[in-house]
Amino acid sequence: PPPPLPPCATPMCITSAATDGEVVLSSTGNADWVHYGMEATERKRGESRLISDLVTTSNNVHLKTYNNNPTVFTWTDGTPDQNVANTPTGVYTTVDGAGMALNVSIPASAHPIVVRMYVGIYSNSADCVGVLTSALFTADGAKAVSSVDKVDSNGGIKNFVYTIQVMGNDATHGAAAPRRLHLRWVQNGSHGGNIEFTGVAVQAEDVDVATAGPARGVHLHLAALA
């Protein structure tokens, strides 16, 4: 199982850690998960669908697949492939200023909702930077909080997981409860490098997934992110 998380006293807390070896999406994504890079997008079997489709942040960018990820992914509850062990696949882009984005619907719960985003960055110089923009929106559409984090490759390859804790999402918060998390992973600088995206997992305790509704599509030009 994933290691215990540090306490979070704000609506959204973000930490990052290196990943290596095996990630079991069936464990880290008991509410929902998705993996990219195989012949089709792989999802958790069932009707929860908290994670929207992945889109590019520019219309002229096409994601490429790769199969030499040092971090491998396993699951036993997927579709279209129910059981997959140790797949080293993912998607990437090499275009400066472009990247990938998605939304995660946040169900009501008295417990924190934990979203894990598995990404990577590669370059033969330190000039390729990955930028994560996270924005949390409430049930009435207002932005509750946002965050920007940057990481460079230091002339090599880095695989890591961003862990986002979402707090205060129980029914007592009404329209102020967080209900949508927007995640955007973008490359700054190229220099022979790329950013990678391999998957997302949503972990939750005692939730009614139906309270979140289906994941909505990504709006690429959200003024609220500025």
- Residue range 98-116, pLDDT digits in tens: 899 999 998 877 788 999 9
The first and second tokens of residue 91, run together, are: 């998607």
Q: Sorting pLDDT into bands at 50, 70 and 90, what band is 123?
A: confident
Question: Token pair of 186, please?
Answer: 């973008």
Residue percentage of the chain with pLDDT more than 70 = 85
Residue-level pLDDT at 151: 87
User: What is the pLDDT, as a whole number, of residue 116?
Assistant: 96
Residue-wise DSSP of the chain: -PPPPPP--SSEEEEEEE--EEEEHHHHTSSEEEE-SSSS-EEESSS---B---EESSTT---EEES--SEEEEESSEES-S-EEEE--EEEE--TT-EEEEEEE----SS-EEEEEEEEEE-SSTT-EEEEEEEEEETTS-EEEEEEEEEE-SSSEEEEEEEEEE---SGGGGGGSEEEEEEEEEEE--TT-EEEEEEEEEE-SS--GGGG-SPPPP-TT-GGG-
Residue 207 and residue 160 in contact, taking contact as beta carbons nearer than 8 Å? no
Q: Tell me what pLDDT residue 22 has.
A: 95
pLDDT in tens, 191-221: 678 899 999 999 987 655 555 555 554 443 3
pTM listed for this prediction: 0.88
Confidence grade of residue 82 (pLDDT, cut at 50, 70, 90):
very high
Answer whether residue 189 shows pLDDT above 50.
yes
Residue 64 near residue 91 (C-beta atoms within 8 A) = yes
pLDDT at res. 135: 93
| 87 against 222, higher pLDDT | 87
Strands 64-66, 90-93: pairing is antiparallel
Q: What is the pLDDT of residues 18-63, one digit of tens each?
A: 887 899 999 999 999 999 999 999 999 987 789 999 999 888 788 9
Which residues on adjacent β-strands are paired with residue 115?
Answer: 164, 202
| Cα separations in angstroms, 19 against 54, 107, 109, 117, 212 | 21, 27, 28, 11, 29
Q: Would you state the structure tokens that stand for residue 215, as one six-digit string?
A: 């994941």
